[in-house]
Amino acid sequence: MTHDSPKNDSECGSARRASREWWLYVALLCVPLLAVYLHIPPPQLSPAVNSWRTSGHFFTFRGNNIFYKESFGVVGSSDVLLLLHGFPTSSYDWYKIWDSLTQRFNRVIALDFLGFGFSHKPRPHRYSIFEQASVVEALVAHLGLSEQRINILSHDYGDTVALELLYRSDHNRSGHITINSLCLSNGGIFPETHYPRFLQKVLKDSGFISPVFTRLINFQLFSRGCDLKDVFGPYTQPTEAEFWDMWTGIRFNDGNLVMDSILQYINQRLKHRERWVGTLTSTSTPLHMIYGPLDPVNPHPEFIQLYQKLVQRSTVSVLDEHVSHYPQLEDPTGFFNAYLSFINSF
């Protein structure tokens, strides 16, 4: 019979301890990685964003709660303004000009599209521009405004939703909104002059890998490493607190997990270009474009030259050369004055 020597026993014990320590290190490393992956804990809303939320309302669209905010302004006017926000943010994009707008219009209304902001963010779900247009029509009906002529002011993603609404209005589709005027701003309405950011292209085209990417995005990556920072001008960058407000709106109800699905709107723009650009060029509705010329997504002068060539009935306001993709946030005074000039011109 053989016996292990004390030396062998000591070596085996050391190996077992080393193995346990290695697994302990792996476990300790996995805890923060898992926390990042699952986004634990959820980010807190700032007082300003929380106030925006608590001052709003919800209505139900096909089983999903849709957030909207409404203010009554000028007495004696019947003018209604509907605001349509961009990707990946929310109705809070309009907060800098909200009070000014209520001094011009009787009712000012903004919603969070399905999958955005404080609205429900179902998954899995096939998000589409067509559905978002139906959400807007349902909101207008919910507010008892189906017979009212509506002014629409839109931005980015909201521009394409607005064009679908315009198509339905011009073609007298059932349930359509009657559009009194339409003002667009820095939306990628022409696929040939639209340059999505790197992360947008990765998320929309990476198949089964995209859901992993959406979980791994955290605030630091969002505010510093992601492409959102690059769509603001060098002199109009959001503060850390403003980036946080954008991020918490995205993260509310795990909205980061549906970004890849929502981003299919870029492919939808290409597929339905004839429908949406066609109605833009043929409509008799008063049109205006407010444009931040430093926009890398819809670059100057390529984008605005094509717009002026194709949409000859539209008027155009090009803002200061330092203003980029979010003109209502970067130059709220210039943006509001440009819109006021347009809305008072007819």
What is the DSSP track for 6-60?
HHHHHHHHHHHHHHHHHHHHHHHHHHHHHHHHHT-SPPPPPHHHHHHHHT-EEEE
Which range, of 65-69, 215-219, 229-233, 295-299, averages the lowest pLDDT? 215-219
299-343 residue pLDDT tens: 999 999 999 999 999 999 999 999 999 999 999 999 999 999 999
Nearest alpha carbon to residue 187 among 220, 210, 207, 164: 164
28 has pLDDT over 60: no
126-141 residue pLDDT tens: 999 999 999 999 999 9
Q: 86 and 155 in contact (C-beta within 8 Å)? A: yes
Model confidence at 288, pLDDT cuts 50, 70, 90, reads very high
Round to whole Å and give the CA distance between 286 and 24: 66
**pTM for this one?**
0.89
3-state secondary structure of 72: strand
Round to whole Å and give the CA distance between 43 and 244: 9
Model confidence at 211, pLDDT cuts 50, 70, 90, reads confident
Alpha carbon dihedral 60, 119, 272, 81, in 10-degree steps, equals 80
Mean pLDDT of 59-82: 94
Model confidence at 199, pLDDT cuts 50, 70, 90, reads confident
Write down all domains in the chain, each with its CATH number in brackets: 49-344 (3.40.50.1820)
The rounded percent of the chain whose pLDDT value lies above 90 is 74
Q: What is the pLDDT of residue 6?
A: 52
Mean pLDDT of 77-83: 94
Mean pLDDT of 264-277: 97
Alpha-carbon distance values, 330 to 94, 104, 324 (Å): 11, 21, 7
62 has pLDDT over 60: yes
100-156 residue pLDDT tens: 999 999 999 999 999 999 999 999 999 999 999 999 999 999 999 999 999 999 999
